[in-house]
Structure 1
Amino acid sequence: MSRQFKAGPGAFLDDQAVAQRVLEHAERGTTDVVDDVWREPVANYRSTERFELEIRDVLRRVPTPFCPSAALPEAGSYLAREAAGTPIVAVRGDDGRVRAFRNACRHRGMQVATGTGCARAFSCTYHGWTYALDGELRHIPHEHGFPGIEKGEHGLVPVVVEQRSGLIYVRQDAPVPGPSPWDGLGELIADDQELLACNEFDADVNWKIYLESFLEGYHIRPTHRETFYPFGYDNLALVESVGRNSRVTFPFRRIEKLANVAPAERRVQGLVTYAYHLFPNAVITVLSHHTNLVVLEPLAVDRTKLVLYRLTNRGGGVAAKENAQRDAEFVDDTGAVEDLAVVCAIQRAIDSGANDAFTFGRFEGAISHFHRCMREALAAV
């Protein structure tokens, strides 16, 4: 008989509580479960109208992770990409503050930055209008051709920025009522974690289907039989929620060695994988030797851009990069490929008419929590 888990208020479990709970489950053959089964209408994955509401009323109105703070290490460091369909550029100013702007020149709308880099100013490559790192318009070539223009009224248009938990969050439009996005998170990415890579790729799948693949351990044995399962368990995971966020803990079998360690001295780094879901569309995975920030950017109702930031784990050291790269290659070449194949196959079958709803059982509580929060956020607008 599985044991039910209800998250405590305000924080995720610490190492000692995680270890104890996993050891109890391993001994009893149980896992965390939630009270109810959730049925999510398939129409919510197929409807263009619903997709547009998710973008307009949630992804642009909730603070969402844009990049790790480590992606902007010094004054002038910038990163430009689309978030919820809007071109955004984030930059660290000379004062150390991170700001973000709609990436469009105030003259004729040309994007003023692409990719990543370090700059002293943003100069539009169309006509040369130039903006300081704080977004102020500083220079207009042949300014006499624009009589009466007020530079102070033509700076880059800012979006709201918060730097929390080692991440840069952006919010584009008026906020959706709801709990704080940061309650209980603590430090997710530490100052000593080094950014190794930033990659993007597109997948022919709805963003929520892709997200769901990160949020349950029920699939580990069937999907990852020769890759992840030999190191882990069949359907053993911890599921916690704080506010709209959640965390799923996937233990490795080697955690059982902690049974012989005094509870107060137990540490789980390298013995579990943590998957933090940061509502609505980001996941941080903390693996044995590396950490990923994954942002799922919806492109269309059936297409998603995965933006992946890869970092070393905490602690650094000479071997940190090498260990992180080796760990990441194993995950990329095995489990990530298997998960992508599954979610794309679901998308290909979604118009088959076989299902009116997808059914998420008591083992899949983080997914149920996500859909419940999405429904509440849409209703709050």
Structure 2
Amino acid sequence: MSGFLDDQDAAERILNHVENGTTDHSDEVWREPVANYLNPARLACETDEVMRRTPIAYCPSAALPDIGSYVARESARTPLVVVRGRDKKVRAFKNACRHRGTQVAEGSGCAKAFVCPYHGWTYQLDGSLKQVPHEEGFPGFDKSVHGLVPVDCEERLGMVFVTQEKSLWKESPFQDLPQLIESDQKLMSATEVDLDANWKVHLESFLEGYHIRFAHPETFYPYGYDNLNLIEFCGSHGRITYPFRRIEKLADVPKEKRNIDGRVTFVYHVFPNVVITVLSRHTNIVIIEPVTVDRTRVVTYVLTNAGGGEDAAALAERDHSFVTQTGAAEDIALVKSIQRSINSDANEHFTFGHYESLIAHFHRNLTAALDGKPIE
């Protein structure tokens, strides 16, 4: 495994591509069977055998700022609740009362305890069962073994990760990944939206720049390039860099003094289903949760960028609004277009060429995980 380029080396590589009219590419063509987007049994394996056995980004640490801060939602089709305890440690639990399974938390907020809305069973922030109303009606009942069911959880790289089942990984999948979210980045919003598309179709839309000139002719393309990207791998993860034309102003700046902030968009793919986009003025964390083969829940956290200063929130809001209403909307329309035709039998497979190697990297690792083989 190897880490990503530092800013100075990334700038150097981009400027070389600009000068030579080239881009990063591979020598591989990957053909992914369309059946793999349509088969409910395949989707069940993707969630049960891969997502539940992989440390999955659940939320940024910034979503849990205080003791009692919690986030409840489904991850890999399992209801979970993640909470910061009185010891400031983050813990995760299956979101189900140990009485009859009612979910004990909804959405996000801050709580002193979790109280089941059905019969009032009360759980402390560490998951232990504190109170059972009319406990005498449950003779011999042992509260100490009926706490919320814990799920492995760790806080690192500015994120909270959950692993629901025995991990696929022999070594840490985070090795050599950079800090993804810095402590000074402020959470601006969190949303959940259902998208009528397969989760992989949506994910793929983030992972190549081959489409920029045609999909975004009046939004992103005027500021960027046609098919000019850096593509890097870090184990099963990856990063694609989208440079803006203004990076050319660095051509005459000594390499060690080049600052590429605001001159590129970094898109990190954290295997298998998370995308982190670091744009000019804001950062998006996009968690792509499969629901069915043709429906996906998209969880998006919007944060200010690191080191943004006093105007960070206002600048981030303006940047986010532009991206959401323009390029992102165009991508969503194309994702829906693919989904509408996916059952037509027009294609037996989707073809990912030399400029789409990050997508191929994802499918190779997903296939390996499903086959029980070591993940790169």
TM-score (norm 2): 0.98
On the 8 A contact 1:227/1:335 being kept in 2, the answer is: yes
Match of 2:90 in 1: 98
Residues 1-381 of structure 1: matches in 2 within 5 Å?
9-177=1-169, 179-380=171-372
Q: Deviations over 1:170-216 (max 9, x none)?
A: 01111113553211212110000000000111111000000000000
Q: Which amino acid aligns with 1:262?
A: P
Q: Distance between the aligned counterparts of 1:309 and 1:111, measured in 2? A: 23
Q: Distance between the aligned counterparts of 2:262 and 2:170, measured in 1? A: 34
Q: Deviations over 1:129-180 (max 9, x none)?
A: 0000000001111110111111111000011101111000001111113553
Q: Which moved more, 1:175-184 or 1:59-68?
A: 175-184
Q: Quote the offset at 1:35 in angstroms.
A: 2.1
Matched residue count: 373
Q: Distance between the aligned counterparts of 2:346 and 2:132, measured in 1? A: 59
Match of 1:5 in 2: none
Secondary structure in 2 matching 1:380 = coil
Q: Distance between the aligned counterparts of 1:63 and 1:346, measured in 2? A: 29
Q: Distance between the aligned counterparts of 1:55 and 1:355, measured in 2? A: 25
Q: Quote the offset at 1:53 in angstroms.
A: 0.7
Q: Which moved more, 1:114-123 or 1:178-187?
A: 178-187
Q: Which amino acid aligns with 1:168?
A: V
Q: Quote the offset at 1:10 in angstroms.
A: 2.1
On the 8 A contact 1:254/1:271 being kept in 2, the answer is: yes
Percent same amino acid at aligned positions? 58
Q: Quote the offset at 1:376 in angstroms.
A: 0.6
On the 8 A contact 2:288/2:298 being kept in 1, the answer is: yes
Q: After TM superposition, what 4+ stretches of structure 1 lie above 3 angstroms from structure 2? A: none
Q: Distance between the aligned counterparts of 2:38 and 2:292, measured in 1? A: 10
Q: Which amino acid aligns with 2:293?
A: V
On the 8 A contact 1:179/1:243 being kept in 2, the answer is: no
Q: Deviations over 1:302-333 (max 9, x none)?
A: 11010000000001322100000000000000
Q: Deviations over 1:329-358 (max 9, x none)?
A: 000000111000001100100111111110
Q: Which amino acid aligns with 2:298?
A: L
Q: Which amino acid aligns with 1:305?
A: R
Q: Distance between the aligned counterparts of 1:317 and 1:35, measured in 2? A: 43
Secondary structure in 1 matching 2:371 = helix
Secondary structure in 2 matching 1:60 = helix
Q: Distance between the aligned counterparts of 1:182 and 1:220, measured in 2? A: 30
TM-score (norm 1): 0.97
On the 8 A contact 2:2/2:233 being kept in 1, the answer is: no
On the 8 A contact 2:269/2:276 being kept in 1, the answer is: yes
On the 8 A contact 1:178/1:377 being kept in 2, the answer is: no
Q: Distance between the aligned counterparts of 2:138 and 2:2, measured in 1? A: 54
Q: Quote the offset at 1:48 in angstroms.
A: 1.1
Q: Deviations over 1:30-71 (max 9, x none)?
A: 000012110000000011111111011011110100000000
Q: Distance between the aligned counterparts of 1:56 and 1:136, measured in 2? A: 27
* Cα 1:240–1:179 shift into 2, 3 Å: farther
On the 8 A contact 2:85/2:126 being kept in 1, the answer is: yes
Gaps in structure 2 of 5+ consecutive residues: none
Match of 1:6 in 2: none
